[in-house]
Structure 1
Amino acid sequence: MAHELHERLLIIDTHVDIPWPNGPEFTIEGPRCVDLPKVRRGGVGAVCFAAYVPQGRRDSAGNEEARARALGMLDAIAAMGRAEGAMLAHTADAIEAAYRDRKFAVIPAVENGTALGGGLAVLDDFATRGVRYMTLTHNGHNALADAAIPRADLGDGPAEHGGLSPLGRKAVVRMNQLGILVDVSHAAKSSMMQAVALSRAPVVATHSCARALCDHPRNLDDEQLDALRDTGGVVQITMVSAFLKRGAKPSDIGVSAIADHVDYVTRRIGIDHVGIGTDFDGGGGVAGYMHAGQTPGLTDELIRRGYDEAALSKIWGGNFLRVLRVAEAIRD
């Protein structure tokens, strides 16, 4: 049943990492969780690949290193989009066109606003390269915002800015102008709530879970979920095992744990505000769903729980395309 649905539905995974600086080929079957053979086998039509920049020191050398890494990773993501059978997709229309042409859509993203190097100029470069969202923080506070998980090794206290910094507020405004979605996964609740209040476009959490089911600082509580709903945003349920069940290892849980979080979010804020962002190749994976080729297993579980084709279309991409189109309209 799921395989048949995946032939008809555009399946979008909103958060996948890439190996860096070197890694296995994207075009051949290998150890990566997401490569072209696996996405074809799993019926996945599009993936947001993140140029991930770990939080480091915020001096001039660290800032330049962060910028250079992000731009180099975006070059690598662009190269993936030039592979045979793939297509770099910078707009919602382009993602759908790739699906119609039976090509795999590669969608660029940036994870961690420290990639800006303490300024805003590179945001325009990101937009030119087709970046569709930027995660405000990773683990550790940065120049834009407080993170959900401070880094004591970098001198972080519980909070630094009380949410968004003045630069972070300017970044949100500029991202709206450029059509780059604000991603609040990894951000502190204060940062997230302020970003939702400030942004003219819907805010997304591209790889997070429900805190009511798993009390982890990386997850969103009910107040945060309600704020996403009220502003048209989307939370993409991820499959990092410790975010699904506190202290769990990937072998401890399966797709039912992911579906539990989908169920909770759907009941709390509605089917229009939930999606899937696996965090594959960045720590995501549960028993029976350790790579993109096994994607139909999650769909089968959601079908078993009563989700029909219309609902699955929203979960597996429709909701994300909607917020992309709103961001594009605001930009234009």
Structure 2
Amino acid sequence: MNFKQIPNNFIYVFILIFLMGCTAKPTAEQEVEESEEELIARALEIHDRVLTVDTHADTPLRMIEPGFDMSVRHDPNETGSKVDYPRMKEGGLDAIFFATFVAQDIRDDDGNSRAKALCLQMIDSVVASTERNSDVVGLALDPDDAYELEKEGKRAIYIGIENGYPIGTDVSNVELYYNKGVRYITLVHSSNNDIADSATDSEGPEHGGISELGAEVVKEMNRLGIMVDVSHGDDSVFYDAIALSKAPIIASHSNARSVTDHKRNMTDEMLKLMAENGGVVQLTMLSSYLRDIPANPKRDSAVAALRANMKPTSEMTDDERSAARQAFNEIDEMYPNPSANVKHVVDHIDHIVKVAGINHVGIGCDFDGGGGIDGIFDASEVMNITIELVRRGYTEEQIQKIWGGNLIRVFREVQAVAEELKS
């Protein structure tokens, strides 16, 4: 070829293309790919560096069992226990909220008194456990306590209440529980109470959201610096809480309804409002909230037959409720549904990040309350969430927010509002 016959501008183009080829970044095929072992190692390093907070475990129910020792590692397959201090260390779980759960019962003075007594017993058991095991854990009351205890090589133990039933009709009980160490209250559980409507009450809503008493409870929680938790609440409870609370709210263990259509999960509209509110939604590890339940006609028939011969829960004695739980457990063992897995969890995280943003999602496993799936069966396996987040391209900063940063931010803002209201 005679280069003298080629116009100058063509020569410039050839030179530019040549230079680009010399300096271009390697293609994806040319890059050295990170092996699975390297990815896991990188994820575990991130997991170790960030503060990891689980906002919901029903472990206090275990802690009041005679002889149950939190300092001993329990086999979850043998005992059903999902959390103890050794397994928190194994899983790299730095902080946890132990929720003192009291099942809904008769709403009268006697029922309220029994609920309060049981709640206080569980709170005292948590405090006593932290005192007995002060070499490895510490009772945490403020957001920064988790970081301070982490520096000491200890796990931070926070206290919450699941179901506002132990408040009864006496708002002064809120301050009693705060003084005992409670830092969030889930307003309602699986049945309506005097404070709010449940998402799953078979009779449907009773108050149209949060009751007048419930509004006073929310006001008192704001004054004291207790986080308002809307998990288990009817949708109207969420909207009422957003309107009533002067501080950001939380959902301590809820997922995304657009991913899995369950009443306990939150709609996209709710997720967007949670972002506007500055609150946070904590992902939970219950299979029925994480993926659509596959068809299981034999199990459905067995459950229907059992329910047909059951009294309403509110009319059962303690022994009858225990027998009913055992019967349902036997059906689950005979006709199990396939478990959800870690990918389902991060599918929900992906969706909430897309709708509400990275600042409004966290983790609330619900261990010892039904939580536990393939790959995150107990506290010793929570690092698998981080591994999947890394696999999907989440940065360390984003993972830090998901695992604890977002919740701690809300906790601080709740306390700041309380200080303003007191001044």
Between the aligned partners of 1:164 and 1:127, the Cα distance in structure 2 is 21
Residues 293, 337 of structure 2: 8 Å contact kept: no
Local SS of the residue matching 2:246: coil
1:146 to 197, 206, 213: 197
Q: Deviations over 1:79-99 (max 9, x none)?
A: 232213100000011121111
1:38 aligns with 87
1:158-173 mapped onto 2 (5 Å cutoff): 158-173=204-219
- Between 227-236 and 1-10, report the one with greater CA deviation: 1-10
TM-score by length of 2: 0.76
1:328 correspondence with 2:415 = yes
Residues 280, 407 of structure 2: 8 Å contact kept: yes
1:241 correspondence with 2:282 = no
Residues 241, 286 of structure 1: 8 Å contact kept: yes
2:182 aligns with 131
Residues 80, 106 of structure 1: 8 Å contact kept: no
1:71 aligns with 120
Deviation at 1:184?
Answer: 0.2
Between the aligned partners of 2:343 and 2:397, the Cα distance in structure 1 is 20
> Cα RMSD between the aligned structures?
1.2
- Between 249-258 and 133-142, report the one with greater CA deviation: 249-258
Deviation at 1:252?
Answer: 2.9
Deviation at 1:246?
Answer: 2.7
Residues 58, 98 of structure 2: 8 Å contact kept: yes
1:1-332 mapped onto 2 (5 Å cutoff): 1-18=42-59, 19-20=61-62, 21-22=64-65, 24-30=68-74, 31=76, 32-82=81-131, 83=133, 84-150=135-201, 152=202, 157-247=203-293, 251-332=338-419
Between the aligned partners of 1:188 and 1:47, the Cα distance in structure 2 is 25
Q: Which runs of 5+ in 1 are unaligned?
A: none
Between the aligned partners of 1:98 and 1:44, the Cα distance in structure 2 is 12
**Alignment-mate amino acid for residue 12 of structure 1:** V
Between the aligned partners of 1:175 and 1:247, the Cα distance in structure 2 is 36
**Alignment-mate amino acid for residue 25 of structure 1:** D
Deviation at 1:250?
Answer: 7.0
Deviation at 1:2?
Answer: 2.6
The number of aligned residues is 327
* Larger Rg over CA atoms: 2
**Alignment-mate amino acid for residue 186 of structure 2:** T
Between the aligned partners of 2:97 and 2:51, the Cα distance in structure 1 is 13
TM-score by length of 1: 0.96
**Alignment-mate amino acid for residue 229 of structure 2:** D
**Alignment-mate amino acid for residue 210 of structure 1:** A
